[in-house]
Chain A
Amino acid sequence: MSKKILIVDDEPNIVFSVEFLMRRSGYEVVTAADGEQAMQKLSDEMPDLMILDVMMPRKNGFEVCAEVRADQRMADLPILMLSAKGRDAEVKKGLSLGADAYITKPFSTHELVEKVNELLNTISEGE
């Protein structure tokens, strides 16, 4: 069964590209446009990985990340942060709040796919 990826970003254009990219790489995709929707989708769809934007309305990426890590059921969910905030301090903040990888925009699609594959494989190897 193909793995399921949740893409969270408030900009439909980037969601569209990343969704296309992930489907082409053989993943099932669900999307959310803000932090609250993301929390909803997480419990409804139980995805295998989340690609998370930082600056979003209602609940930002850092908050979502921290909440996921605090939740027993999802504590192991791989999170890849994809953000326009590119300062070192923000990368560190994302990683210490529980993100497994942090990619700054703009990014190369190859790198993104590789990172997603890597995160999912590490998990399956662990299983």
Chain B
Amino acid sequence: MIEKWSLRFRVFLFFALISLMVPVLLGSALWFAAGRIGPESVPHLVLWGGAAGFALIGLVLWVWLKFDENVVAPINTLTSDLQTLTYTSTEHDVETEQGRYLGLLAPAAREMAIALESARKEVKREIEEATRELELQRNRLETMLRDLNEGVLVCNMNHKILLYNRRALNILHYTGEIGLNRSVSNLLSTPSIAHSLEYLTGQLETQPSEQELSAHVVCSTSDGRHIIEGQLSLILDSDERSATGYVVTFDDATEKLAELAKRDRILRDAVEGLRAPVANLCAATEMLIENENMDDDGRKRFENVLSEESHRLSKRLQELSQDYREIVTGHWPMSDVYSATLLNCVVRRFKPEDAIQCLINGDPVWMHCDSLSIVELMERIIRRIAGETSTTAFELEPRPKKDKVYIDISWAGDLVRSGTIDTWLDESFDECLKDMTGRDILENHKAVVWSEAQADGMACLRLPLPLAKEDHRSPMFEHNGSGVRPEFYDFDLLKNIGNKQLGECDLRELTYVVFDTETTGLEPSDGDEIIQVAGVRIVNGRILSGEYFDQLVNPGRTIPVTSTEIHHITEEMVGDQPPITDVLPRFHDYVGDAVLVAHNAAFDMKFLSLKEAMCGVTFDNPVLDTVLLSAYIHDHSKQHTLDVLAERFGVEIEAQYRHTALGDSIATAEIFLRMIDLMQAKGIRTFADAAAVSEKMVEIRRQQARY
């Protein structure tokens, strides 16, 4: 029991006891003296004894006050400092000024802190060294994975995502929020995945494990807009008896399937759509031939049938060949190619002895073609033009126009006749292109070439090619200006928490969204609105720098200058931003079932909850507040602002992010992670513990507010 009382209280009790003993001892001594001296001494004894008693009690009180101020308080500060030092790895200084009456304790603590610091540095250095090699290999793997042209998702058996790569992000980002420890069911329709898993785990139980455990999957994205096709394989436990997760490698098959369906339809139409008119023609013809003595009227009608049906047939053929031309490119494997890369290949084809020089002009673009055959074709055409017109200098330039990019080969000299170009196109290439002709290559790209005259005596040959459908400038990772690689995987999620109740979960294994809002003012019920929402996810004790949420909001009202001074968001900045009714549902998706964390959460939650009905979402997630947790951890300190906490925990907010919703969210997240460690030391391990101390802090603050 006594150990549980605070040091301060125990010391107070000790002094209280002494001051209680003063009147007792003094009283009994004087009473004894009065007995010996006689009753006439009583008034004197009471007067002087009383004075001495009060003086003594006063003295004790004074000593206690001094003791409390100079010994007990510094010990408390020192304890808190040492705890912070032990559980955070910052260069936190031990305060010695306050503890100058503690003798050598404070300097000793300081020395220990320095020793700890250097020991930590040593360990850190060694770990860094050992990790570097590992890091290198990991980087290579990561790069490979990231640039893989197939989407990769790794999930545990609870369908939570452990890993994804850039391609997966590109394919699935249209559909929903993708991120570590999010459920794959946000992205893909799960029945077909569940079926493949069921099938494979069944196979695992019945068959020897040498067999490859993978299955072909085709499933739609959860919004049904895309179809993905790929391979699902199990990740086996070390005993190779049970599965701990699965890998899906996939590609967007929507277009491919649509293309196939179209081709099917055209083929079917070609066969079946032609049957009827041909049947009509045949029947009518046979009737005419076999009935020579038919009357004129009958003959005329059959002739009408013949003419009508042959027209129908030729019209049908026309339509078919049109459709055919549209799909024919699908056969030839093509990829998105950067024009600069392709044209450089062309340039390098010409050796010095060829005496042909090519120069590349214009801005490079992404196009969709088969690189090898186009390079071969361009090389041949340039050589032929050189032969025909005795030109040696050529300029190559990609010119994008609508959905095409015109590759223009220009030279100073005469035009080439179109008949001549045709003969070049009829020549076939050797075995590297399987005897294809230039015409075949053009046909594969739905392209034609022609030569036209240009200004100032230049001639030019134009080759239109399809533009790439995707923009390859990768806008996905714009947050990573700082050079931090986004986290794409976390294999610790393999051993998932399972079905534990939230309250029992270790604080370190929960998924959090730490968020912050910027607003037009402090009174949401008085018309103040949200103008920026940002959030960062924490999964398994790691801030996922690749999965930030950061969105300006059009508040539909003016922004007071006084608030702009704080967050630097102006009305121009939010003019073309989406309204809260768009942003909040997206943020709701982003949050999912994570625990919400904010600095002074009550404020932000108030703004969110006032918008819930309007936006059709409810934020009923559990909430933690870093202000309350800080009040619990550093009860001796009265300051709990974000800046003070950042300094206390050695968290640096990057200059570009400071006082923005995202910057504050990141800082809060880092502070929160350090707080979790500190709380562990104080026995606060589970979510229920953290919620309980928060409750307590709210209660204390409420009482303080009352006085």
Contact at B272–A17, with CB atoms within 8 Å? no
The stretch from A8-16, A27-35, A36-44, A73-81 touching chain B is A8-16
Are A21 and B283 interface neighbours, CB within 8 A? yes
B272 A85 Cβ-Cβ under 8 A: yes
Nearest-neighbor residue (CB-CB) of B301 within chain A = A16
B287 at the interface (CB under 8 A from A): yes
Residues of chain B lying within 8 A (CB to CB) of residue A14: 276, 279-280, 283
Asked if B309 is at the interface (CB within 8 A of a chain A CB), the reply is: yes
Check B282 for interface membership: any CB of A closer than 8 A. Answer: yes
Contact A13 B282 (CB under 8 A): no
How near does chain B come to A94, taking the closest CB pair, in angstroms?
Answer: 14
- Asked whether A86 lies within 8 Å of B275 as measured between CB atoms, the reply is yes
CA–CA, A104 to B284, complex, Å? 16
Residue contact B280 to A13, C-beta cutoff 8 Å: yes
A64 to B276 CA separation, bound complex (whole angstroms): 20
Choose from A13, A84, A86, A104 the contact partner of B308 (Cβ within 8 Å): A13
Residues of B within 8 A of A24 (CB): 291
Report yes or no: A11 in contact with B276, Cβ–Cβ below 8 A: yes
- Chain A residue nearest to B304 (CB atoms) is A13
Whether the Cβ atoms of A84 and B280 lie closer than 8 Å is no
Chain B residues with CB below 8 A from A21, complex form: 283, 287
Given known contacts A14-B276, A86-B275, A106 and B309 CB-to-CB distance under 8 angstroms: no
Q: Mark B308-319, 1 if CB is under 8 A from A, else 0.
A: 110000000000
B141 within 8 A of A: no
When distances are taken between beta carbons in the complex, the residues of chain B under 8 Å from A20 are: 287, 291, 298, 302
Does residue B327 face the partner (Cβ distance < 8 Å to A)? no
Contact residue among B282, B301, B302 (Cβ-Cβ distance under 8 Å from A106): B282
- The answer to whether B130 has its CB under 8 Å from any CB of chain A is no
Tell me the count of chain B residues lying within 8 A, CB to CB, of chain A: 22
List, in ascending order, chain B residues with CB within 8 A of A105's CB: 275-276, 278-279
| Cα of A108 to Cα of B282 in the assembled complex, Å | 8
**What is the chain A residue whose CB lies nearest that of B290?**
A109
Instruction: Tell which of B271, B275, B287 touches A17, judged by Cβ atoms closer than 8 Å.
Output: B287
Q: Is the beta-carbon distance between A107 and B287 smaller than 8 angstroms?
A: no
Whether B280 lies near A11 (C-beta < 8 A) is yes
Query: Is B305 part of the binding interface, using a Cβ–Cβ cutoff of 8 Å?
Result: yes
Number of A-B contacts (CB under 8 A): 59
Contacts of A108 in B (CB 8 A): 282, 286
Chain B, residue nearest A21 (CB): B287
Is A119 an interface residue when CB atoms closer than 8 A count as contact?
A: no
User: Which residues 102-127 of A have a CB within 8 angstroms of B?
Assistant: 104-109
The closest CB in chain A to the CB of B294 belongs to: A20
Q: Give Cα A85–Cα B275 distance, bound, in whole angstroms.
A: 8
Tell whether, in the assembled complex, residue B283 and residue A84 are in contact, meaning their CB atoms are under 8 Å apart. no
Shortest beta-carbon distance from B602 to chain A in Å: 67
Complex-state Cα separation, A106 to B285, whole angstroms? 12
A17 near B284: Cβ-Cβ < 8 Å: yes
Contact assessment for A107 and B271 in the assembled complex, using a CB-CB cutoff below 8 Å: no
- Of A14, A21, A24, A108, chain B has the most CB atoms within 10 Å of the CB of A14
0 or 1 for each of A85-108: is its CB under 8 Å from B? (1 = yes): 110000000000000000011111
Taken together as a complex, chains A and B put the C-alpha atoms of A16 and B286 apart, in Å, by 13
- Whether A17 lies near B283 (C-beta < 8 A) is yes
Q: Which residues of B639-670 have CB atoms within 8 Å of chain A's CB atoms?
A: none
Within 8 A of A (CB), among B253-299: 271-273, 275-276, 278-284, 286-287, 290-291, 298
> Which chain A residues lie closer than 8 Å to B287 at the CB level?
17, 20-21, 109
A18 within 8 A of B: yes
CB distance from A125 to the nearest CB of B (A): 28
Interface residues in B34-64 (C-beta closer than 8 Å to A): none
Q: In the complex, what residues of A have CB within 8 A of residue B280's CB?
A: 11, 13-14, 17
* Residues on the B chain within 8 Å of A107, using CB: 279, 282-283
Q: Are A84 and B286 in contact, CB atoms less than 8 angstroms apart?
A: no
Q: When chains A and B are docked, how far (Å) is the Cα of A54 from the Cα of B434?
A: 45
Can you name the residue of chain A whose Cβ is closest to the Cβ of B271?
A: A86
Write the nearest CB–CB distance from B345 to chain A, whole angstroms. Answer: 47
* Residue in chain B with minimal CB distance to A17: B283
What are 17 A-to-B residue pairs whose CB atoms are below 8 Å?
A11-B276, A11-B280, A14-B279, A14-B280, A16-B301, A16-B302, A16-B305, A17-B284, A17-B302, A20-B287, A20-B291, A84-B276, A84-B279, A85-B272, A105-B276, A106-B278, A107-B282
A residues at B contact (CB < 8 Å):
11, 13-14, 16-18, 20-21, 24, 84-86, 104-109
CB-CB nearest 10 A-B residue pairs? A105-B279, A84-B275, A17-B283, A106-B279, A105-B275, A106-B278, A109-B286, A13-B280, A84-B276, A106-B282
